[in-house]
Every structure is written in structure tokens, then in C-alpha cells.
């Protein structure tokens, strides 16, 4: 009986991807459109509540902008009155609506069949994770149930906990949450066989810019400092 490998997932602010390590090398799994990157966008049909993910969600959002949800990673695990949420709403033009939900959490409010419906960032992120889980399962021809998920180094315990909950909602057991700069450093070190060094990781993503210094000592990776701009990225909505 073959063992289904765990997958690695980068649940990004703007784009997400899934990979698997096989035969001594990582393989990035293409989505149903043949792309390695999937837009982290979820669209809920305003009449049927049918869910679309990625490129299709991007294409459908203009039909009902308030039901096209993105940037869940910015919102997940945060209170509605969080300063980061206030800054985000001031500096970013959004088509969706954010409101105060249970326990003062920031949640999405959308319209389905004339009724206001609440979706938590965990539920929205879970739809993206479920999509990645499904394409990985199809690629490996078996049901994927375990994953290592990368998160920003600055994520709080609440944000990490909420990310784990999103994975659970998607039917995934999180083996480990690994910080994004550490993941980059591991790849860099293993590729070049450097076992003692300081590495500067420059991560200019679609939604955020992060710069980190990683100290590597054999099998130990320590994030020494993180700095950046969470409202600066390469994609303009």
C-alpha cells in the first residue's frame, strides 16, 4: 500500500500554489488552467451560492463585485478594530464589505439571494486550500490529507491558529506551519549545500513586501529580523 505524500502549500495574499516533494526534487502542481499559481480569489454566486476559485473567480467578480472575496490572508485572525484592518481599509480600495463578526473578528459580508451572508476569513481561505488539495489529489491520483503550510514570519498566534482552522475546514491536517522566509532559506541552503551562513530573503509578493534575515547553522534556521510593508505588492486590484 503506497503512502500519499504530504504537500507543501503557499497560501498567498494574492496567489497560492501547492507542491509535492518526490524523487528527490520538488514538483509544483499546475491547477486546472495549467498555471502553477492560483489567484487567492473566491467568488460566491449571488443566486446559487456556488463557489468559484482562482482565475474563474477573477473573471466572475465583475458580475457581482461584493461577492468576489480576496485578501483573506490580510484579515484572517484579526479583530475588526485591529489597526492593521483600519490601515488596510483606508489605503486599499476594496469591492467587498468587511464587518464586525463573532468575538469582534473581522469578517466578510456578501449578498446571496437578497440576504446578507457572513463568511469568515477562515472559510474563504478554506475554499482556496480545498481547491489546492483537490488538484494535488488529482495529480497524485490519491486523496491528499496532510500539508505543510507557509505563513509570514510576523503572523501572530491568533493568525497561525486561524490558518490551521482554515486547513482543517478544507480537510487537511497541518503537519507544520513554516515561516515563508525559512522555507525560502531551506530551499536556498539545500540547493547550494551551505550549512552555516546568514541569508537575506527578499520576498516581493503580489500583496506584500517582506525582507528577512535568516541565520543558518547546520539544520537550525532562525529568523533574526523581519521588516517590510504589508500594503505594498506587485499586483494592483
- 147, β-bridge pairs: 7, 174
Q: What's the CA gap between 53 and 17, in Å, rounded?
A: 13
* Tally of CB atoms within 10 A around 131: 23
Catalytic residues: 10, 73, 180, 203
Q: How far apart are CA 211 and CA 181, in angstroms?
A: 8
> 169 burial class (0-12, 13-18, 19+ CB within 10 angstroms)?
middle
Q: Beta partners for 223?
A: 214
Amino acid at each position: 500500500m503506497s503512502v500519499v505524500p504530504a504537500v507543501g502549500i503557499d497560501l498567498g495574499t494574492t496567489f497560492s500554489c501547492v507542491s509535492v516533494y518526490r524523487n528527490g526534487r520538488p514538483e509544483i502542481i499546475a491547477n486546472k488552467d495549467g498555471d502553477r499559481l492560483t489567484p487567492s480569489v473566491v467568488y460566491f454566486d449571488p443566486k446559487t451560492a456556488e463557489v468559484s476559485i482562482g482565475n474563474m473567480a477573477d473573471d466572475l467578480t465583475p458580475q457581482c463585485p461584493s461577492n468576489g472575496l480576496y485578501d483573506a490572508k490580510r484579515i484572517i485572525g484579526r479583530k475588526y478594530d485591529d489597526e492593521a484592518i483600519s490601515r488596510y481599509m483606508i489605503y486599499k480600495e476594496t469591492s467587498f464589505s468587511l464587518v464586525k463578526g463573532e468575538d469582534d473578528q473581522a469578517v466578510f459580508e456578501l449578498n446571496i439571494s437578497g440576504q446578507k451572508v457572513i463568511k469568515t476569513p477562515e472559510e474563504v481561505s478554506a475554499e482556496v486550500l480545498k481547491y489546492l488539495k483537490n488538484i494535488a489529489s488529482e495529480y497524485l491520483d490519491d486523496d491528499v490529507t496532510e500539508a505543510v503550510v507557509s505563513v509570514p514570519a510576523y503572523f501572530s498566534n491568533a493568525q497561525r491558529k486561524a490558518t490551521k482552522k482554515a486547513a482543517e475546514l478544507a480537510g487537511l491536517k497541518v503537519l507544520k506551519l513554516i515561516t515563508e522566509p525559512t522555507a525560502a532559506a531551506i530551499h536556498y541552503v539545500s540547493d547550494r549545500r551551505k550549512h552555516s551562513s546568514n541569508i537575506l530573503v527578499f520576498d516581493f509578493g503580489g500583496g506584500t513586501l517582506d525582507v528577512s534575515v535568516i541565520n543558518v547553522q547546520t539544520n537550525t534556521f532562525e529568523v533574526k529580523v523581519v521588516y517590510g510593508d504589508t500594503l505594498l505588492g506587485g499586483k494592483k486590484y
